[in-house]
Amino acid sequence: MSRGLTFLLAALAALLLAGGCARRETAVANGNRDGVLHFSIGSEPTDLDPHVVTGIGEAKVIHALFEPLVSFDPATLKPVPALAERWDVSPDGLVYTFHLRATAVWTNGDPITAQDCVDSWRRMLTPSLAADYAYLFYIIRGAEDFNKGRTTDFATVGVAAPGPHTLVVTLAQPAPYFLQILLNSPWRPVHLRSIAAVGDAYRRGIPWTRPGRIVTSGPFMIKEWSPHQRIVADRSPTYWDRANVKVNTIIFYPTESVDVEERGFRAGQLHITWSLPLGKVAAYRREQSPSLRVDPYLDTYFFRLNTRRAPLDDVRLRRALSLAIDRQLIAEKVLQGGQRPAATLVPPEMPDYTQPVRPLHDLAAARRLLAEAGHPDGRGLPPLEILYNNSEIIRLVAEAIQEMWRRDLGLDVRLVNQEYKVVFANRRTGNYQILLSDWVGDYLDATTFLDLWRSDAGNNHTGWGSADYDALMNRAAATADLAARAALLQQAETLMLDAAPIAPIYFNTHVYLQQPSVKDWHPSPMDHIDYRHVRLEP
């Protein structure tokens, strides 16, 4: 049992003991009065370095600590000012000029300057950092060449600071989603001087994100980080918009057990849970509970299949595994939270894009491909291993698919679960066979899912690459006509799905619990939160 679970269980026990003699005020009631938000974030963060992490739970904390250039209007999702008070875009859509707030400062009192943005993005693109998200920056002119070491002259990258509060960004080609992409963690400026004071700022693993060392720019600043227990962030006294921040403190709890979360919520220990046990969804719906939230979510669950290792280096086996998944059953019988079966990677809500038509389930074709690969009814095939991180929900998904493959294909499939940090490390090094994964879109464009599978994408981690796929993605990036661009992207997705380095499973929703006292909690479909708006009421 993780210490995060122990922490919540201890709180529950104390509450029950107190109830024997006198009713004790819950954390939620106390928080409503004092402006303290209690929030579960799933797994323990691997780090809080915006340029290194890739997890959603980690991003929940980072978004409270580091200010983006632009935020979003919760109602329309349109970009609104944040660190940049305004911006200009050239008529050809290539040059963005951001005008930063002169009143914005870091938590150590240093002014936040345009040069801080330049330095941060240089760090993100420096090869020695090996940032998984570096490829997102390739939309900037010259960024790919710098990241791949073709040049060491950062002056060739289209980022400049002609004045202390003026940032000029020149794109390689028009990208209508550019302002949206700036919300994501890798684009948020960091204070490079404080990182360099701890160690090499261009290497991973420098412990600069610990309380007492970390210098931040957002509405909250770290007060405490007790690993596997909690992260406490207080309202920052140096934040430029501090007068409009309504919550005084956020306490983030890393809790991998959805059952403990749900019990903690009912006992008044949490304002917001990370998720909800699948077996409890129907009951909350029957009761028409005001605490139940089922939010739209630009999130696809899928298997990564390690193409570098036999037997999964055989495309016929990979396709057989994918076709044998009964996606309808997973979505409707296992999950029951409004999730939909996914035969493709890009969700259907994506604007200016039409998904390729793919079968949701074709057992006859799966068996035929398995036989063509030399393993009729699974004969001669060694055991396969599904790796997943500690989560009851994805454990149920993995168990259901394990049984499908055993029953319908005759395969011996073993399940291995590990802590999120360990799974993430094994994913990066390719130390797995089949990995249960998901991807939350970073912006409203199909490329947020399809760029993952470029040969050089830092988040690919399957060993698969295709020059033809890369060429289609490059042609799409250079195509201004939306219909022609969508057709190229659809060809690319079809090519990738035929090669089957992944097996899509379902399009997710965000099912969780929220106390009625939490007001103005408006996550975007990409699950971004602007904590400035959140408030608590008794």
Query: Cα separation of 226 and 241, whole Å?
Result: 28
Exposure string of 472-503, with b = 16+ CB inside 10 Å and e = fewer, is bbeebbebeeeeebbbbbbbbbbebbebbbbb
pLDDT given for residue 55 in this prediction: 87
Report the DSSP beta bridge partners of residue 98.
87, 167
On whether the CB atoms of residues 413 and 406 are closer than 8 A, the answer is yes
State pTM to two decimals: 0.87
Phi first, then psi, for residue 92 (nearest 5°) are -85, 0
CB-CB contact of 420 with 227 (8 Å): no
pLDDT at 160: 98
The correct CATH number of 3-64+200-295+511-536 out of 3.30.830.10, 3.40.190.10, 3.40.50.300, 3.30.70.20 is: 3.40.190.10
Query: Which residue shows structure tokens 């619990």?
Result: 513
61 close to 45: Cβ distance less than 8 angstroms: yes
Cα–Cα distance for residue pair 305/284, rounded to 1 Å: 36
Q: What are phi and psi of 11, to 5 degrees?
A: -65, -40
Alpha-carbon span 156 to 405, nearest angstrom: 51
What pLDDT sits at residue 13?
Answer: 47
Give the residues of the chain that fall short of pLDDT 50: 1-3, 5-6, 13-22
* Alpha carbons 470 and 466: distance in angstroms, whole number: 6
CB-CB contact of 312 with 304 (8 Å): no
Q: Which of 222, 248, 231, 246 is nearest to 34 (CA)?
A: 248
Q: Are strands 166-170 and 159-163 parallel, antiparallel or unpaired?
A: antiparallel
Can you give the length of the chain in residues? 538
Predicted local confidence at residue 24, as pLDDT: 84
> CATH 3.40.190.10: which residues of the chain?
3-64+200-295+511-536
Name the segment(s) of the chain with CATH classification 3.10.105.10: 299-508
Residue 20's CB is within 10 A of a number of other CB atoms, namely 6
Sheet with 502-507, strands from edge to edge, namely: 340-341, 502-507, 299-305, 434-440, 384-389, 413-418
**pLDDT of 28:** 98
Give the fold, CATH level 3, of 68-189.
Dipeptide-binding Protein; domain 1 (3.90.76)
Q: Which fold has domain 299-508?
A: Dipeptide-binding Protein; domain 3 (3.10.105)
From CA 369, how far away is CA 452, in angstroms rounded?
26
What are the angstrom distances between the C-alpha of 272 and each of 114, 196, 499?
36, 36, 40
pLDDT at residue number 1: 39
Inter-CA distances, 419 with 2, 254, 388, 501, Å: 10, 12, 9, 24
pLDDT on residue 279: 84
> In the chain, which residues fall in CATH 3.90.76.10?
68-189
Using CA atoms, how far apart are residues 252 and 41, in angstroms rounded to an integer?
A: 6
Alpha-carbon distance 299 to 441, whole Å? 6
Cis check for the bond before 356: say yes or no (omega within 30 of 0). Answer: no
Backbone angles phi, psi at 189, to 5 degrees: -60, 145
Amino acid 7: pLDDT: 53
